[in-house]
């Protein structure tokens, strides 16, 4: 497996410009001759499909949703970053670049991050031109907020529904291209494999979720925009249908998987309330601006919060981090909460949370002011828990939220399989070992609107004439897909798909979640193959393969999670350091923080699938930090 | 708590369909309505039966996937709440609950509680956008937008496309859905140039797709989990009136 990042030469601020000039162009008349497949119509995919259609490529887009208006992207609440410096508070492209590299704990590629910061400017222009109703100030100009501990206000937002409004903007642009005949849309179609022939991606094989029909689709290039894999933990803040299938199957066909163990945990989610809960709900991070986090000093203290006097409360973040207090970064706030709960200080009916208390904020600024800032969040919290946060402190606990890992891509966003491109959360991305708040929407849209539509031309313009015949390859893959479906249906065991998914999720959370150890990871690597074996023997998938069958859809996805989970643990084990969201207990500073090992681990780990019983093989892309000097984080 | 569910089961569009009754035991108050259905499905599967099909994804009331009639009311008894955000504490031990798919000619049943809402996409396709090329946008601050206009546009733009408005309407009209998009774009200066062509083609598509006419019942507003106001329909009608007076055929204007 060759890893050539193809970073353009020249000063960092000129790389993208130069690259745009040096890339080969496809002349407009020839664009019609190229077929491009886009899998996934979330922010990244919808933006890419619409733009490539507009440029003249023949585009086919696929989603397993019933409409491209629905994708996980729609749930993003907080906002989107851009270095517009509309507030005049000292922001710049360089500062956004710098913050992203540092926030990612020095495990991302500088050239890509710089381009992302540059393109952030265009995204806001594009979205505004589409009519996205961003929040405005009284003078009619765009409003900003500061987010996730950033020192400048660079986050643009549309109430608490930024993801929704940006996705609808991209969706509408896509519908316009469908209307114009430039994009052919395939809804309720699940991609189940990539077809590679003569060393290049040649198309995909899908299953029609309504009829069960397995079909081949050939193209000159394939773009995956299929999102992240947080649902490997079963319980996460991701939409229920998010899964790893598309990227995992591509990995098995030769695409390197980069840093799969980099998964982000979000500190402010509503704790699990029962055994049968299906997903976790995120509460906006902004709540930490005014809420105070605490647990009772006494273990197992069952008194209601208001009966616990102040001197019996431990405001542990304020105690441990006097200067940042409740605003310490996501990973630190998460780990400290877990430690408190593990040590027996957990609160709530299941003793699985910590308090986020607005009592003092209400005393200080009055109920009305609190309600103005957080009213909708409080209402949502009450809807879910039945508790009124004005009276009773909120209960929160960390939950899996975002995956920085993904398929490895070069500067052109092409994977190690020529002709297979990966955009949005699905690629290993620009966020290194930890993503900053409001940066995922930015990356998905930069990839989709501005990068892929140009870089794909560089590949297509150099395709040799007369593509070799790939019919045989398609036939083989179709057969593999059908056989797999048949195997799932014919196991006829005694356990439901969800019961396996829950078991895997618990295992991953315990052993490869917020905190990892060599011992735990080795244990996971022993247990996952056994669980997978049991799955194939004992799973029960009712119904048939020739109709709408949600159990079958789930079964295929869980089968892939059961393979992927093992790779995640290999990666976490091999990365014998702590960095960003990846925390290995063995590597802790004296102050109890994550301890990086730059000597040995300033690289991207890219895994090659070898099949059978062979362990995956690791390859490395070394990272250079020329513009943001390596430094240790400190939040004391 | 212990509940009795009467659930619409229909294997595909050709099957006439029927209610089937299931006992749901050990349901806790903290469960969401969909968690409850998940649990029922787990038990059905364990008993060798086919689980109930229903669309869902975000389970946070934002993607618009979930949608079902619960005791004859779209998304169930709580206002401003989607089925996925409804919690079982809204029900009591011993309750009987009737669960059905959206009923509308334009939304054929795919299976059980799952319907096709493709016509919504075709309404948007016919004009629910601003015709702007990627990369050709001016700086975002070139055109200031009055805060009030932006806020009102947002009030309309919050539509999640779930279809509750259609299910609630005695005429199965999708006017609230259509009007919300027309209003969102008409209120923003960026959407203004295409304002009248847009309303003509979107309403034309709405009618072609087999949705009924709006006769001002207002049931849609009550059912809308996002609280979108019927005032937007009045606004659509005003725009439609002006657009028709100018009598340019929609398609000709488009070219
Ligand atoms: C609760 C929550 C809040 C968030 N808030 C923010 C925020 O405020 N700011 C921010 O920047 N980020 C936020 N994020 C992160 C951000 O929303 C996501 O990272 C981003 O939207 C991912 O976009 P995407 O286009 O890459 O993928 P997705 O939106 O996940 O889209 C994936 C698409 O691929 C399709 N697909 C997947 N697999 C297949 C297959 N096999 N076959 C066919 N189709 C397939 C799906 O149907 C879907 O269309 C938040 C995330 C969560 C969970
Ligand atoms: S599942 Fe998304 S709105 Fe209910």
What residue has token string 């193959």?
Answer: A529
In A, residues 220-259, which contact B (CB 8 Å cutoff)? Answer: 239-241
In A, residues 562-621, which contact B (CB 8 Å cutoff)? Answer: none
Examine the pLDDT at A349 and tell me if it is beyond 60.
Answer: yes
Which residue is closest to A54 within chain B, CA to CA? B133
Task: Compute how many other C-beta atoms are within 10 angstroms of the C-beta atom of residue A582.
Answer: 30
Q: Which H helix or E strand runs over A268?
A: strand A263-269
Q: What is the per-residue pLDDT for A120? A: 98
Percentage of residues in chain A having pLDDT higher than 90: 89
Q: What is the per-residue pLDDT for A374? A: 87
Q: Which residues have a Cβ under 8 Å from the Cβ of A363 and sit 6 or more positions away?
A: none
- Measure in Å the smallest separation between the Cα of B31 and chain A Cα atoms: 7
Ligand 1 pocket member A535 (CB < 6 A)? no
Q: Does A142 contact B60 at a Cβ distance shorter than 8 Å?
A: no
Domains recognised in chain A with CATH numbers: 34-262+404-461 (3.50.50.60), 268-400 (3.90.700.10), 471-590 (1.20.58.100)
Name every chain A residue with its beta carbon within 8 A of the beta carbon of B60.
75, 281
The distance between the two most distant Cα atoms of chain A, rounded to a whole number of Å, is 78
Q: What is the per-residue pLDDT for B81? A: 96
Q: Could you list the pLDDT tens digit for every one of the 255 residues in chain B? A: 999 999 999 999 999 999 999 999 999 999 999 999 999 999 999 999 999 999 999 999 999 999 999 999 999 999 999 999 999 999 999 999 999 999 999 999 999 999 999 999 999 999 999 999 999 999 999 999 999 999 999 999 999 999 999 999 999 999 999 999 999 999 999 999 999 999 999 999 999 999 999 999 999 999 999 999 999 999 999 999 999 987 655 544 444
- Summarize chain A as % helix, strand, coil (round to 5): 40, 15, 40
| B99 interfacial to chain A (CB closer than 8 Å) | no
Name every chain A residue with its beta carbon within 8 A of the beta carbon of B180.
none
* pLDDT grade for A467, boundaries at 50, 70 and 90: low
Q: Compute the average pLDDT of residues A533-538.
A: 98
User: How long, in residues, is chain A?
Assistant: 636
Q: Does A68 contact B85 at a Cβ distance shorter than 8 Å?
A: no
Q: What is the pLDDT of residues A404-436, one digit of tens each?
A: 999 999 999 999 999 999 999 999 979 999 999
Catalytic residues of A: 330
Q: Compute the average pLDDT of residues A325-349.
A: 92
Q: What is the CATH code for B117-254?
A: 1.10.1060.10
Q: What is the per-residue pLDDT for A594? A: 86
Q: Compute the average pLDDT of residues A223-248.
A: 98
User: Which one of A70, A134, A137 has the shortest CB-CB distance to B63?
Assistant: A70
Domain ranges for chain B: 3-110, 117-254
Q: What is the pLDDT of residues A56-88, one digit of tens each?
A: 999 999 999 999 999 999 999 889 999 999 999
State the Cα–Cα distance between residues B193 and B177, nearest whole angstrom: 21
Which two structure tokens, joined as six digits, stand for A124? Answer: 């806001």
* pLDDT grade for A289, boundaries at 50, 70 and 90: confident
pLDDT averaged over every residue in chain A: 95
Q: Determine the 3-state secondary structure of B19 from DSSP.
A: strand
| B89 interfacial to chain A (CB closer than 8 Å) | yes
Note whether A455 and A51 are within 8 A (CB).
no
Q: What is the pLDDT of residues A470-525, one digit of tens each?
A: 999 999 999 999 999 999 999 999 999 999 999 999 999 999 999 999 999 999 99
State the Cα–Cα distance between residues A37 and A54, nearest whole angstrom: 14
Q: What is the per-residue pLDDT for A380? A: 87
Q: What is the per-residue pLDDT for A589? A: 87
| Ligand 1 mutation pick, A38, A63, A209, max ligand atoms within 8 A of CB | A63
Look at A43-47, A375-379, B67-71, B201-205 and tell me which has the smallest mean pLDDT: A375-379
Q: Which residues line ligand 2 (CB under 6 A)?
A: B 56-59, 61-66, 82, 84
Looking at all shown ligands, the one closest to residue B58's CA atom is 2
Q: Which architecture, in CATH terms, is B3-110?
A: Roll (3.10)
Q: Which residues have a Cβ under 8 Å from the Cβ of B231 and sit 6 or more positions away?
A: none
Ligand 1 pocket member A402 (CB < 6 A)? yes
Helices (H) and strands (E) in chain A, counts: 17, 19
Note whether B137 and A124 are within 8 A (CB).
no
* pLDDT grade for A375, boundaries at 50, 70 and 90: confident
Q: Which residue has the higher pLDDT, A505 or A613?
A: A505
Q: What is the per-residue pLDDT for A613? A: 83
């Amino acid at each position: 497996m060759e890893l050539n990042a193809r970073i353009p030469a020249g000063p960092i601020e000129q790389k993208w410009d130069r690259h745009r000039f040096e890339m080969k162009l496809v002349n407009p008349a020839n664009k019609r001759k190229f077929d491009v497949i886009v899998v996934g119509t979330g922010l990244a995919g919808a933006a890419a499909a619409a733009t490539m259609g507009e440029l003249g490529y023949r585009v086919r887009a696929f989603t397993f949703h019933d409409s491209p208006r629905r994708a996980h992207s729609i749930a993003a609440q907080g906002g989107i970053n851009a270095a517009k410096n509309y507030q005049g508070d000292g922001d710049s492209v360089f500062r956004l670049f710098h913050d992203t590299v540092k926030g990612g704990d020095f495990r991302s590629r500088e050239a890509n991050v710089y381009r992302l910061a540059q393109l952030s400017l265009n995204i806001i222009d594009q979205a505004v031109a589409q009519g996205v109703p961003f929040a405005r100030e009284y003078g009619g100009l765009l409003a900003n907020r500061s987010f996730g501990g950033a020192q400048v206000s660079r986050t643009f937002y549309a109430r608490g529904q930024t993801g929704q409004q940006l996705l609808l903007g991209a969706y509408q642009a896509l519908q316009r291209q469908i209307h114009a005949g430039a994009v052919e849309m395939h809804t309720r179609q699940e991609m189940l494999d990539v077809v590679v022939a003569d060393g290049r991606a040649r198309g995909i094989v899908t299953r029609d979720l309504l009829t069960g029909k397995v079909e081949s689709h050939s193209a000159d290039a394939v773009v995956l925009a299929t999102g992240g894999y947080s649902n490997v933990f079963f319980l996460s803040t991701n939409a229920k249908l998010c899964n790893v299938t598309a990227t995992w199957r591509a990995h098995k066909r030769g695409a390197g998987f980069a840093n799969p163990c980099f998964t982000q945990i979000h500190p402010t989610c509503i704790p699990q309330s029962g055994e049968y809960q299906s997903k976790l709900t995120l509460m906006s991070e902004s709540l930490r601006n005014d809420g105070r986090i605490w647990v009772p000093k006494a273990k197992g203290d069952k008194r209601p919060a208001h009966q616990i006097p102040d001197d019996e409360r431990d405001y542990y973040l304020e105690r441990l981090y006097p200067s940042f207090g409740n605003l310490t970064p996501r990973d630190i706030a998460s780990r400290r909460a877990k430690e408190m709960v593990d040590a027996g200080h957990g609160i709530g009916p299941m003793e699985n949370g910590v308090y986020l208390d607005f009592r003092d904020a209400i005393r200080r600024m009055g109920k009305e002011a609190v309600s103005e800032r957080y009213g909708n969040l409080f209402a949502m919290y009450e809807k879910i828990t039945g508790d009124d946060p004005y009276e009773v402190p909120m209960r929160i606990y960390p939950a899996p939220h975002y995956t920085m890992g993904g398929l490895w891509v070069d500067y052109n966003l092409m994977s190690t399989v020529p002709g297979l491109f990966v955009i949005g959360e699905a690629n290993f991305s620009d966020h290194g070992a930890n993503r900053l708040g409001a940066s995922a929407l930015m990356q998905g849209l930069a990839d989709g609107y501005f990068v892929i539509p140009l870089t794909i031309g560089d590949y297509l313009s150099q395709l040799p004439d007369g593509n070799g015949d790939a019919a045989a390859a398609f036939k083989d893959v179709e057969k593999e897909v059908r056989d797999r479906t048949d195997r799932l249906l014919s196991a006829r065991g005694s356990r439901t798909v969800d019961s396996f998914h829950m078991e895997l999720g618990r295992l991953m959370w315990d052993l490869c979640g917020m905190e990892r150890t060599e011992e735990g990871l080795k244990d996971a690597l022993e247990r996952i193959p056994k669980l997978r074996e049991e799955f194939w023997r004992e799973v029960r998938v009712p119904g048939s393969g020739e109709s709408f069958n949600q159990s079958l859809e789930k079964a295929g996805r869980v089968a892939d999670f059961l393979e992927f989970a093992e790779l995640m643990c290999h990666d976490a084990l091999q990365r014998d350091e702590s960095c960003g969201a990846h925390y290995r207990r063995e590597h802790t500073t004296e102050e109890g923080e994550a301890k990086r090992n730059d000597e040995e681990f300033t690289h991207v780990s890219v895994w090659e699938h070898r099949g059978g019983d062979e362990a995956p093989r690791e390859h490395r892309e070394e990272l250079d930090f020329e513009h943001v000097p390596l430094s240790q984080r400190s939040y004391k | 708590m212990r509940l009795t569910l009467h659930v619409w089961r229909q294997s595909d569009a050709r099957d006439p369909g029927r209610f089937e009754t299931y006992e749901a035991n050990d349901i806790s108050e903290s469960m969401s309505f969909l968690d409850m259905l998940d649990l029922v499905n787990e038990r059905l599967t364990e008993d060798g039966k086919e689980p109930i099909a229903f669309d869902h994804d975000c389970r946070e009331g934002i993607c618009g996937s979930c949608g079902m009639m619960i005791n004859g009311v779209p998304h169930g008894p709580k206002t401003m709440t989607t089925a996925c955000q409804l919690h079982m504490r809204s029900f009591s031990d011993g309750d009987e609950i009737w669960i059905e798919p959206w009923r509308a000619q334009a939304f054929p049943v795919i299976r059980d509680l799952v319907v096709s809402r493709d016509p919504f996409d075709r309404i948007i396709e016919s004009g629910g956008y601003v015709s702007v090329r990627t990369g050709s946008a001016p700086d975002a601050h070139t055109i200031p937008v009055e805060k009030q206009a932006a806020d009102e546009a947002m009030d309309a733009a919050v539509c999640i496309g779930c279809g509750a408005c259609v299910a609630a309407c005695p005429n199965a009209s999708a006017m609230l859905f259509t009007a919300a998009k027309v209003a969102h774009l008409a209120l923003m200066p960026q959407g203004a140039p295409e304002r009248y062509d847009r309303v003509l083609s979107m309403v034309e598509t709405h009618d072609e797709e087999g949705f009924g006419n709006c006769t001002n019942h207002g049931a849609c507003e009550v059912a809308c989990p996002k609280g979108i106001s019927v005032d937007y329909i009045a606004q659509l009608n005003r725009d439609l009136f002006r657009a028709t007076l100018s009598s340019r055929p929609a398609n000709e204007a488009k070219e």
